[in-house]
Amino acid sequence: MKMLFLLGGRDLEMVTIKDILDRHGVMYVDKKLSWGAKLSEYREYLDFDGVIYGIELIEDREPPKNYIAIDHHNEKFHQKSSLEQVAEILDLQLTRWQKLVSANDKGYIPQMQKLHATDDEIKKIRQEDRSAQGITAQEEEVAKQEIQNLQKLGNIYLLKTTLQHFSPLVDRIDKRDLIVYNDETISVFSSNIQMLIDSFYNELNSNLCYYGGDPLGYFGFTKEYCKQEKIDKTLKRIIEMINKTEKQLYSYHAFMFPFTFENQKISDKWICKKFSITTQKDYNEYFYFYKHVRDALFDTKEGESISQYYEYIDQEGSFTIEANSCSYELEIDTISLRVFNTNVALISFHLLNSRYKDPQDILAINDFGRRVYPQFLGEHFTNETKNAFLAKSITINQPKVGVLTEDFSRFDALKNLKSDMSLPPSYIKHYLDDSFESYEQIIDDRMFVLSLYLSQSKANCLGRIEDDRYIYEEDDFWYKYIFVDANMKSSQSKYMTKKLIKESTYDRWVGYGTLYGVSRYSFVAISSGEFGKEVIFTHMKTIYFQIFTLLLAYRASIISFSKRIQEVSKKDDADITQKAQELYKSYLNFLNGLYFKELTAQDQGIELYNKALNIMNIEHYLKDLDHEINELHSYVEMVEDKKESKKINDLTALGIIFLPATLIVGIFGMNIFPKGFLENIGGWVVSFGLMIGTTWWLVKNHNIPFKKFIFGAKKEKKE
């Protein structure tokens, strides 16, 4: 197939593409244009009779039918880099260097860091990129001087330059939001460019603006636009817009740590929150559930309750995840504690992400953030685990608490690897040690994840129909999101992946851009637009959080009951009845007060709850527990029957002792002895001797209960 590539503006990515085309003998035309190259500048080549690929060219004229655009800017910024697209067309595998070049062009330094780029590699890539753009050594020196003029206006850093290229300045400034401008154009560098996209929608359609970058975004204005509008007027508009804009929410994450405990005395650092309806949100949450469910979830009455809800005294701060390839700092929304009367509880960390919008970032936050100890240890202890999915460290920083860091280094020494070593991370121990005498987590090295990803582009993509199926049905991101995989997908079978996605997805509202997913370790959702932010986000923090709090309480309670059954089974027969009765009473209270077949009359709530019950295997575990309870009950009945039988045997033996006297008196009456016979000691001896002799003869020669007790077991004859 004949191909012709038309090259756009010059940078390191375009230089690398040109090198690939040269080495593989592919036809191309390079007019060495600058940024903002237009299709019309290649008009004489548009009658080519093969496939024409235009790389990062502004379509200022109607392209021919055999033309295919290659780009990852503006509305295509979620697509692969131009270098990756070219490699796919030519069926080539990129080298490591080429992958780093691609990452640099797609998402700047953060994207290279995700490929584990070293500092030297990043520095070299950036230097060569600036060189490819035509930046001179003199411009580099000017940039070093001009960054001293950086100023801050509200939430924005502002820098005016005399340079035509902004990259030598931006590479030396790690501040965001950043505006760099000269007398001809303006560029904005921010993690939230959506507001600019919305505000300058018409200008974008007229090719007077451009944007890109993922996850670190940029938004630029062409010289043509800046000629029409005064620089100062545009700057003022942008500055006011950014400073007034509320913090963008990209995702919500709740890490839930369920555990069982023996004794508790909740520290005064935890504030007990009695539920009351003070807002419409409270009303919606309360009346979503049936009344008997509300009694279990909402501590509204005085006296004994099924559960109590607490919030930590300090709710401000950050939750920072440091991994080998990335770093994430999330805002703490709430740290909560729910304690149930079945001796189970959950501590939950509710976190907000307003910085990272890339789908891979959301996956990494969930997978690294939920780990509480190494799943395995390699030859170099946690080094291998940290290269897989364990964070280098997790740090909580709160004004009233200070800095709490868990770096898992205690697992790097053999002397610490005891079977009874404390597994929960130090930051969880800090919040729980003052309130619980002893506690034990109920799942493995992972916390349960509740997560909402707000992304219009990704949600719309997953909900698109192609070949009579939804994209999400075989989408790798959606699978990883549900099953909390950051890197390698945990199912490498196409058919199993599709089956698991189908079983775990609730797509009632896919047409409105909302999907839900349930696994044994997660409940996730993706949603788009204001509906996701205003409605689904609220539901995740309230209704859905309550539902999965109950489900995890079921799981914890079942494990707790099973453990107590084992402990009761080991008791002496003398103690087992009382302990079993206490256990059975607790079990009945659990079934009648906490476990529910249905939570709400809402169809969506019924469907989601049933799906979660099934996937988390709650009813199967409960059935097994019921069997264990019945087995214990049967054993206790056997013990009680044995005790009753012993009492009867004892009474029987006692009756046998007095049987001869009773018979003699019954047959002959009290006057069978001569008058005065019982008035002397000899008469009594004769009388008792007669009774004892009769008793001995009866027991010795008949199968009388307690025969062994009276005479002892017969000794076996020695051979």
- The CATH number linked to 77 is 3.40.50
| Same domain as 257, residue 383 | yes
DSSP, collapsed to helix, strand or coil, labels residue 58 as strand
Residue 478 maps to a domain: no
Mean pLDDT of 189-205: 79
Same domain, 354 and 387: yes
Q: What is the mean pLDDT of residues 642-658?
A: 63
Given this model, what pLDDT does residue 46 score? 93
Instruction: For residue range 226-255, list pLDDT tens digits in order.
Output: 877 778 888 888 888 877 766 678 999 999
Instruction: Tell me the C-alpha distance between 563 and 106, whole Å.
Output: 53
Q: Are residues 405 and 270 in the same domain?
A: yes
HSE-CB for 649 with a 13 A CA cutoff: 14
Contact 358, 243 (CB under 8 A): no
**404 strand-pairing partners:** 396
Determine what percent of the chain is predicted with pLDDT higher than 70: 85
Q: Which domain holds residue 144?
A: 135-244
- Judged by average pLDDT, the poorest of 136-145, 180-189, 418-427 is 418-427
On whether both 101 and 164 belong to a single domain, the answer is no
pLDDT of amino acid 641 = 65
Q: In degrees, to the nearest 5, what angle opens at C-alpha 79 toward C-alphas 75 and 84? A: 140
Task: Yes or no: say if 77 and 98 are a contact pair by the CB < 8 Å rule.
Answer: no
Average pLDDT along the chain = 84
pLDDT at 366: 96
Using alpha carbons, select from 26, 45, 34 the residue that is nearest to residue 8.
Answer: 34
* Interval 416-442: pLDDT, tens: 777 656 678 889 999 999 999 888 888
Position 403 in a domain: yes
Q: How far is CA 270 from the centre of its chain?
A: 23
pLDDT value for 534: 84
Residue type (1 letter), 37: A
* pLDDT grade for 27, boundaries at 50, 70 and 90: very high
Task: Please report whether residue 71 resides in a domain.
Answer: yes
Same domain, 256 and 240: no
Taking the C-alpha atoms of residue 322 and residue 365, their distance in angstroms, rounded to an integer, is 10
* Domain edge (last residue) among 126, 146, 168: 126
Number of domains making up the chain: 4
Whether 223 and 350 share a structural domain: no
More confident residue, 665 or 316: 316
Query: Does a structural domain hold residue 560?
Result: no
Instruction: Examine residue 517 and state whether it is found in any structural domain, yes or no.
Output: no
Instruction: Go through 82-111 and write b for each residue having 16 or more CB atoms within 10 A of its CB, e for each that does not.
Output: bbbbbbebeeeebeeebbbbbbbbbbbbbb
The answer on pLDDT for 715 being more than 60 is no
**Model pLDDT, residue 659:** 58
Decide if 91 is inside a domain.
yes
Using 50, 70 and 90 to split pLDDT, how confident is the model at 669? low
Same domain (yes/no): 140, 112: no
Chain position carrying tokens 């469907």: 607
Element (H, E) at 334: strand 327-340
What is the pLDDT at residue 717? Answer: 45
Name the band, by pLDDT with cuts 50, 70 and 90, for residue 637: confident
Q: Are residues 320 and 435 in the same domain?
A: yes
Are 190 and 242 spatial neighbours (Cβ–Cβ below 8 Å)? yes
Q: Do 438 and 348 belong together in one domain?
A: yes
Give the pair of three-digit tokens for residue 512: 């409105």
Least confident of 195-204, 348-357, 640-649, 676-685: 676-685
Regarding whether 293 and 193 lie in a shared domain, the answer is no
What pTM value is reported for the model?
A: 0.62
Residue 633 falls inside a structural domain: no
DSSP letter string, 387-418: HHT--SEEEEEETTTEEEEE--GGGGSGGG--
Are 117 and 149 in the same domain?
no
CATH of the domain at 236: 3.10.310
Across 3-17, 158-172, 301-315, 603-617, least confident range: 301-315
Q: What percent of the chain has pLDDT over 90?
A: 39
Last residue of a domain, one of 202, 226, 244: 244
Last residue of a domain, one of 244, 279, 307: 244
- Same domain? For 286 and 429 the reply is yes
pLDDT number for residue 302:
63
Domain-located, residue 151: yes
pLDDT tens-digit series, residues 503-551 = 999 999 998 889 999 999 999 999 987 788 889 999 999 999 999 999 9
Name the pairing type of β-strands 51-55 and 3-7. parallel
The answer to whether the CB of 416 falls within 8 A of the CB of 489 is no
Decide: helix, strand or coil at residue 68. strand
